[in-house]
Every structure is written in C-alpha cells, then in structure tokens.
A and B are shown apart, each in its own frame.
Chain A
C-alpha cells in the first residue's frame, strides 16, 4: 500500500514536470471524447473543466495540529492537547477528526485581526456548530467556495467565466466585460475579471458579512474585498491566490495561496449535493411535532446519539474476525 502510494507520487511528479515543460506550446489532451487544448481559441490559458483543492484549508486557513474531533471537550487532563471528541461528533469515531495542516497563509503566521475581531474569531471557533454557515448549507462565499472539499467546474468563455460549485449548488459568473454590480450585498460577491498575461485576476466586491473563511471561525465584515489570481502551473494544476482586505476586521491586507488540481477522471462531472435538504434536520429538527433525533430541553438542544451495536459488531467480536 505504502509502496503504491510512493510510486504514484513519483509518477505524479514526473507527469507534472513533463506537462509544465509543454504548457506554453499548444497541447492537446484527451478527456473522455472531448479534446482540450492548453489554450482557448482567444489564446488564454484554458481553465475549463472540473477542479478541486486538495488541502485542509476549509478546516482552518492557519497552520494547525490535528484534533480528535470537529468539536472536542475537556478529557481527563486540563490541557487543550488532551481533549476528547464531544457528543455531536463522537459517534463518528476517528472519521470525525480534524487533519493537521501547515496552513495556506502567505507571509503571516496568523491572520492580522484587530483585537476586537480576534476575540470574535475565538468565540466563533468555540461556537462552531451554531455559527458556521457551512453547517446550515448557506452559500459559501469567496474565497471559501474555492477550497471546500468538493469539486467545482469552470466554464470558460471569452467574456464570462462561470464557476459552478458542488456545495449548495453555488455559482458565480466572472465578468470579463463591463457590467453593473448588484444593487445589494451578496453571499458570493460580484466578480469582475481581467487577464494579466497568463494570470486571471478577479476583483470581488459587494459581500455581506455572513460568510466565513473556514470551520475555525475566521470571518470578515461587509467591507470585504478579495482579489484572486489564477495562474496555470501545468494544464492540470493552477496556483490560486487570494488577497483579503477588510479594514473593519483586519489591520492590513493578507494573502492565502494554494494549488488547485484538475480532476482527471475521464467521466468526471459535478453531482448534486442538495444540502438544503440535508440540513433540515440540523436546522429545524427540534421544531417537529415529534422529534426524530434532536429536541429542546429549555434553552439546550439535545441531540440523541444512541447507537445500537448490531449482534456480531461489538469491539471484541470485531477483533475476532
């Protein structure tokens, strides 16, 4: 298994080196029955296709150590590093942990919050389940939509580039031509793009203050301004950079960057993730006439996580198999 992993890494490395060598010449690669050129008819890098980030940014943009659960509580010891998973995720065992990461911040160890905003960020993290818009299936906003753990599709034309996201069926059009912005603030922002050589630069404005950057409580206000840069590394990988500016929340602009990879399966396509439906029990379960798994006790929501262990699946029986 480990060997296979290692050899696939090597193969990927070789493949990356090979394709990066030819990225500037016109190159045709076959995906399914459509052939895709490295450049579009108007000579721009061809970003059309299905892409996905492959990192831990959606958990926390900042460097972080692995944790035993998305929500944890004090264990036997009083130390943060010795916490145990808390009730809402406990039933999922090791599948509910948070993977560690070196983070995607560029040039900063920490996001430059104002003092008041830092306090709010810490409160957000402590109330992740109640506050993160992702759990409610709300529109994810930009840049978060770019690195959520779901594929998204780019449909690139000459004057518009549509980005369609799996999560919440979210979408945005990047306008390369001049259009009026929306009359109100928005979740996904208003995206206006331009080419700087081979880099697509997208200026995103008109945000509301309701989206987050990740599951760690990193947030912004309605003064958010994001400048994104999409630069091809190879035909199948691009460098994504976002400069984040919000004088109400941060002391100065800061930057994240990451590679985003093409999904190379020949039959890759976006599949529906109908999370409005999926989130109903989470959002409204306690309002049912007869509760299924969630109810109120005074001001407290109780989630029933009783698990019946089927015959033959008790821990010691599992070892015997």
Chain B
C-alpha cells in the first residue's frame, strides 16, 4: 500500500509536468500565425533572422515504416486518411487490470496525448535515402547486447518475465539474479529495474532527460551578432538553454565534456551551420555518447518556416553518418506559448519516492512482511505514456 501511494505520488509529479506541456501544445494548424506575417527574414544588423518560437506541428516518425519503403512523401489524401485513423484511436481511459503494477504505471489517458496532424514526409530520416537509421557497428551492438542482458537479469524475478511480456523478450523468469549487485558496464541512462541508487534510475526520472539532437518540443531563438540563443522547451519540465557562439573560435579542449556538447556556429549564406562536439559520456543519444558529432543547419525558409537538418555521426556507434530533417512553424509571439521554466528537478517527488519506497519494501521484506523488492517491476515502460503516437508507436 505504501509503495503504491509512493508510486502514485511519483506519477503525480509527472502528470503535473505533462499538464503544463498539454497547456502549451498546439491544438491545430488553424489560427496560427499572424504574428509571423510581415516580419523580415533579416535581423536589424543584416544576419538571417531565425528568431521566434518554433515547433514542428506535424507528426512524422523518425524512421520510415517498412510498408512505405521507397516512398518519401505522402499524398494529401493519404495524410487526411492517416489523420482520421490517428484520431480514431485516442486511448481514452485505457486501463489494464485494476490493482496491477501495469495499471498504476500506465496512469495516462487521452488527456495526456497531443495529437498532431500527419506530416508530408514518411520519415524524419532523409539520409540514407531509405529513411532508416544505418546499422550500428559491431562494437555498438556488443554494447547494447551487454546492456540488454544486464537489464533482463534485473527483471528476471518479476511478473513481467513470468508472464512473458514483450519487455522481457530474450530474458527468462527465475529467482532474483546475482547480477542485481553489479554496477552497469557503462554509465546508466535508462530505467534499471533496481533503485539501489539514484544512478539506477533513468535520466528522465532524474530530470536530466534532455539530449541533443532533439526533434520535438518548442524552441525560442534569440540572436545577437555574436551568438544564437536557443531555449529548448522539451520533455516534462526538462527544457534547457543553449547558447551558440559565432566568434569563429576553436572547439573546447578534448578534456572538457559537456552534456549538450560544445556548439560552434557560423553563417553560410542564409544558413546557420553549427558544429557540435565534446559530448559527455553521460549524454546518451540513441547509444552515442562522447564520440557523437553533429553538424546542424538552420535555415529560415520563409516568414513562418524554419528548416532544420542535422547530420549525425559517431563511428563507434553507426556504420555511417545519417541525417534528419524537419520543418518548424513559427508560433504566436504575443501568446508566448513556451514554457520557460524547466523545473522538473525542483518538483521531483518521484525520484526520492522510488528510493524511499524501495528502502521501505526492503525493510518490510527483511521482517517477512512483504514481497522481495527484486520481484517488483519499476523499469518496464508500460506504454500509453504521453508523447507516444498511437498510430506508429513512436
């Protein structure tokens, strides 16, 4: 009961954060943007003007689904049809068996889903041409296999494995693994089924989820002749401030590693080109860490459109570089629809609740008054969480 209460508290914290996001989420394409009209696309000092609040108003999966192989663009008719389908599967009050872990953890309903219109492209990935992220290197495969194996070992005494649920695929059900005492082979960023330490929990639960590159949320761009400032309103109150110097200086020394890397920008015609290196081993973009290298291109296409493309490279993770492209639409300046305050950490009841709850479970178990905490699942993503597109599942 106590654990349940604590879990609910944690979810409550997330819910509050989500509510805020929902408040600022676009409700549709209509009614947006007179603010952008008439604005020049050059700043007062003659640089291309990227300023304003921007977001991608359309739903586009990162990778192209197999059924759209060879197809880069949807027709207008297909987009309308996909919009209809998506609207039809609102997961309103979807519940699993009441009283189960799954029911508590999946406490999101349609209120938390922001549904966007279908975008014109079948994938955000534009290079390779098949719209799919290139294969990972053997070394990255080895890393992710070892990581997966460790995660499954921590899950093996849970109902999730007992019931052969998808989250336990490749694992087995059995007594608590001795591996529960191990530290992960590299710095953990995901949700381990263990709460021995804050470091066992995901970066999201620790309020450090934001990563670069990022393809969702809102950006507020402010420029001066010497720097471009981008505030990223992303995640559940986990936004962040980025300042890109334009002074032509070299990257930071190799010894200095930054959570969001070291950005260096310059103008190439109408495009802001930003080179990003010096990532920290604690930053994790799809398995790429300190060797990640990004080249971003920000271009003001017209009064209300900002094109963003990024080439993503890490020879220790992917067999070749790949690129993502999306277009963002200018948002109403006066309504100031951006949530500046990344205060996830300030209201983080969830993380201490998970730790306190687990300590309480351990104490109860030691006195023979409760289940072994190792048999509980606090790692599996029970689905139906905010931000997941109902149609494509990503």
A interface with B by C-beta (< 8 Å)? 31-34, 36, 40-42, 48-49, 133, 136-139, 153-162, 164-165, 169-173, 175, 177-180, 182-183, 186-188, 210, 266-267, 269-272, 274, 276-277, 280, 283-284, 287-290
* 29 contacting pairs across A/B (C-beta < 8 A): A32-B247, A32-B249, A33-B248, A34-B225, A40-B224, A136-B346, A138-B345, A153-B227, A155-B224, A155-B227, A156-B224, A158-B44, A162-B229, A162-B231, A164-B243, A169-B240, A171-B229, A173-B220, A173-B222, A179-B334, A180-B335, A182-B341, A187-B346, A271-B258, A272-B260, A277-B282, A284-B351, A287-B359, A288-B196
**A247 to B107, alpha carbons, bound, how many Å?**
42
A169 and B227 form a contact (CB under 8 A): no
| Chain A residues whose CB sits within 8 angstroms of the CB of B258 once the complex forms | 271-272
| Chain A residues whose CB sits within 8 angstroms of the CB of B310 once the complex forms | none
Most A Cβ at <10 Å: residue of B208, B226, B351:
B226
B164 interface contact, C-beta 8 A: no
**A165 to B243, alpha carbons, bound, how many Å?**
10
A276 and B227 form a contact (CB under 8 A): no
**A142 to B56, alpha carbons, bound, how many Å?**
32
A160 and B51 form a contact (CB under 8 A): yes
B51 and A157 form a contact (CB under 8 A): yes
B340 and A157 form a contact (CB under 8 A): no
| Chain A residues whose CB sits within 8 angstroms of the CB of B222 once the complex forms | 155, 157, 160-162, 173
Cβ-defined partner of B249 (8 Å) among A33, A161, A180: A33
B231 and A169 form a contact (CB under 8 A): no
Taking A178-B334, A179-B336, A272-B258 as contacts, is the C-beta distance between A173 and B231 under 8 angstroms?
A: yes
Taking A276-B208, A284-B355 as contacts, is the C-beta distance between A138 and B346 under 8 angstroms?
A: yes
> How many Å from the CB of A39 to the closest CB on chain B?
11
Secondary structure dominating the interface of B: loop
A48 and B346 form a contact (CB under 8 A): no
| Chain A residues whose CB sits within 8 angstroms of the CB of B352 once the complex forms | 283-284, 287
| Chain B residues whose CB sits within 8 angstroms of the CB of A284 once the complex forms | 198, 351-352, 355
**A158 to B225, alpha carbons, bound, how many Å?**
11
B197 and A288 form a contact (CB under 8 A): yes
> How many Å from the CB of B362 to the closest CB on chain A?
7
A34 and B246 form a contact (CB under 8 A): yes
Taking A137-B345, A139-B346, A157-B43 as contacts, is the C-beta distance between A274 and B340 under 8 angstroms?
A: no
**A266 to B247, alpha carbons, bound, how many Å?**
9
> Which 9 residue pairs across A and B have the least CB separation, nearest first?
A287-B355, A171-B241, A32-B247, A41-B44, A289-B196, A179-B336, A48-B224, A155-B229, A41-B45
> How many Å from the CB of A185 to the closest CB on chain B?
10
| Chain A residues whose CB sits within 8 angstroms of the CB of B208 once the complex forms | 274, 276-277
**A313 to B144, alpha carbons, bound, how many Å?**
45
A187 and B341 form a contact (CB under 8 A): yes
CB neighbors of A among B276-313 (8 A) = 282
B336 and A180 form a contact (CB under 8 A): yes
> How many Å from the CB of A143 to the closest CB on chain B?
17
Residue of A nearest to B354 (CB): A287
> How many Å from the CB of B155 to the closest CB on chain A?
18
Most B Cβ at <10 Å: residue of A34, A171, A272:
A171
| Chain B residues whose CB sits within 8 angstroms of the CB of A49 once the complex forms | 226
| Chain B residues whose CB sits within 8 angstroms of the CB of A161 once the complex forms | 222
